[in-house]
Structure 1
Amino acid sequence: MAKFSEQLQSFCDLALRLAELHDVDAVLFVFERPTDWKQLQKAVSKSNVVIAGDTEEVVAGAADEGFDTIVLNMPADAPTYERLTQALLEGVAEEFFPEGASVVAAYSGFEAGPIDSVSLIKLDEHLGRLTVRDLRQLKTKVPVETIKLVVDLAVEIGREGREGKPVGSLFVVGDHRKCMEFARPMGFDPVKGYTRQERRLTDAKVREGVKEIAQMDGAFVVAADGTVVASAQHLAAPNTPDLTLSKGLGARHWAAAQVTKATGAIAVAVSESNGTVRVFQDGEVKLRIEPFRRAMKWKSFDTDGPT
């Protein structure tokens, strides 16, 4: 266990002063190595503090001192901005932070190991925004505009549900001919019989129709140009032993992982339980978006944040 340093004490004081000044909901500490949790508890008093760490070993013992804990399970060389964002996403998922919360985060922004940075973060602004850069990291032949269209639609479904009820859904985008080899109708397919022009997601009426169909079981298969090829499909791509998913993710997410492992498609899954949207490629979750009540903002360019 690392010694509770004077530098850490100083950043605790700074984080708490900033939290009080802006009346935030919580303070988040992102640690790369264990610390003296008893000393930290004394330093932060009765403040609402959440501890995040790279591994179980890093946060071991923190819960015993009354802290809520988050394990990131990310590569050691993951950029600071991505690690911080993952910690915030996990905090929302675990309900450590309320929707739209303000959080003061203390983390290692410049030098590995010691905490040396503090930020004031508004979650609905930080997590409710994607950039074109985020989608281009997928390195796919599917046009970015098509992926944006599907992600926006999925986020709307996750945020709004349908008629007040939560709705889960799955979109598989690109490599549609290969995807259809693993698909079979679950019954009536509402898009069957329409012309390609009448099935394009660029049409607002089509998107509204998709929201209605999303209440049915099964996945949407979408071509790279944004045309809905089929709906209400059961996907049965072969499983591979190297596929792993987080606990709590069900059949819809496994189908997304399997079909993207077997094809060149991108899958966008909406969780029925909380509306969270996950973007899959090559069997892995590449992006995760929380469905805040306010519409998601797209930005053509954004800085990388702290590195």
Structure 2
Amino acid sequence: MELYLKAITKFRNATEITDDFSEISIIRSLISYYNNRASLLENEIGRIEIKKPQAKESARDDITGLLRGTGVNETVFEAVIQIALEISIEGREGRPIGTAFILGDSANVLAKSRQLILNPFQGYKREERLITNPDMLDNIKEFAQLDGAFVITGDGVVEAAGRYITIDTGTVKLQKGLGTRHNSVAAITKRTESIGIVVSQSGGVIRIFRNGLVAATVRP
């Protein structure tokens, strides 16, 4: 359907740049043909060109609603999801790994967690720690092998890696089979205005947490 509509547009444009009546006649015949084909397809499968934008708008609305009240920028959220997908699919050095990202309300998240190791991002300039910086990608993937979570501000600054969440996980109830990493991230999102993103080492499934619950699941 989309190809026919593109062809119609191109042929219409072509009629405006030629004075040859025989060429114009052929082009108009082609326009008529593609219009008929487009109409037939529209009757058979509906107006596909209208449905696609609606799906995109719906997805955008879902993201906006998920992030509301967290202070997390949509661009930052999407960048972390993209990194999580790459980690989920590629692993590291040929082996699967699991990791977690906590986005937003970073002061409270840091107050309710502690370093398992020396923070690898300590001492670097703010602009050098932006998750949206392509130069950060390899560092993030490398440090994703560490135990603990990444803590990232709402505007995308990586505050820490290897962060151990210290709050009680007994306040959250997740499905069986989800381990300590998932429960810890669920708990921190219940106690703070943050978003949690967890990559499962087993299967690579990505779960997004908000308010102590699984808000969305992404399968690679």
Same fold (TM over 0.5): yes
Return the match for 1:132 from 60, 84, 93.
60
Alignment of 1:136-147 (within 5 A): 136-138=64-66, 139-140=68-69, 141-147=71-77
Deviation at 1:216, TM superposition (A): 1.1
Sort the Cα spacing of 1:239 and 1:215 in 2 relative to 1 into closer, same or farther, 3 A: closer
Partner residue, 1:237: 167
Deviates more, 1:134-143 or 1:183-192: 134-143
For 2:196 and 2:63, the matched residues in 1 are separated by: 13
Return the match for 1:200 from 119, 123, 130.
130
Check if 1:254 corresponds to 2:180. Answer: no
For 2:183 and 2:136, the matched residues in 1 are separated by: 27
Alignment of 1:72-151 (within 5 A): 131-138=59-66, 139-140=68-69, 141-151=71-81
Structure with larger RCO (C-alpha < 8 A, sep 6+):
2
Letter in 2 for 1:131: A
TM-score normalised by the chain length of structure 2: 0.70
Q: Which runs of 5+ in 1 are unaligned?
A: 1-128, 292-307
Q: Is the 8 A contact 1:132 1:144 kept in 2?
A: no
Give SS of 1:134's match: helix
CA-based RMSD of the aligned residues comes to 1.6
More helix by share: 2
Return the match for 1:155 from 85, 99, 102.
85
Q: Is the 8 A contact 1:276 1:289 kept in 2?
A: yes
Letter in 2 for 1:219: A
Larger radius of gyration: 2
Number of aligned residue pairs: give it. 162
Deviations 1:180-214 (A, max 9, x none): 01111101221111111110011111122100110
Letter in 2 for 1:252: R
Letter in 2 for 1:210: I
Deviation at 1:278, TM superposition (A): 0.4
Deviation at 1:152, TM superposition (A): 1.1
Deviation at 1:281, TM superposition (A): 0.2
Identity of matched residues, %: 36
For 1:281 and 1:187, the matched residues in 2 are separated by: 26
For 1:167 and 1:132, the matched residues in 2 are separated by: 29
Deviation at 1:239, TM superposition (A): 3.5
For 1:171 and 1:275, the matched residues in 2 are separated by: 14
Q: Is the 8 A contact 1:266 1:281 kept in 2?
A: yes
Q: Which runs of 5+ in 2 are unaligned?
A: 1-55
Partner residue, 1:287: 216
TM-score normalised by the chain length of structure 1: 0.51
More strand by share: 1
Deviations 1:235-259 (A, max 9, x none): 1123354x21011100000011100
Deviations 1:63-118 (A, max 9, x none): xxxxxxxxxxxxxxxxxxxxxxxxxxxxxxxxxxxxxxxxxxxxxxxxxxxxxxxx
Give SS of 1:167's match: coil
Give SS of 1:191's match: coil
For 2:186 and 2:117, the matched residues in 1 are separated by: 23
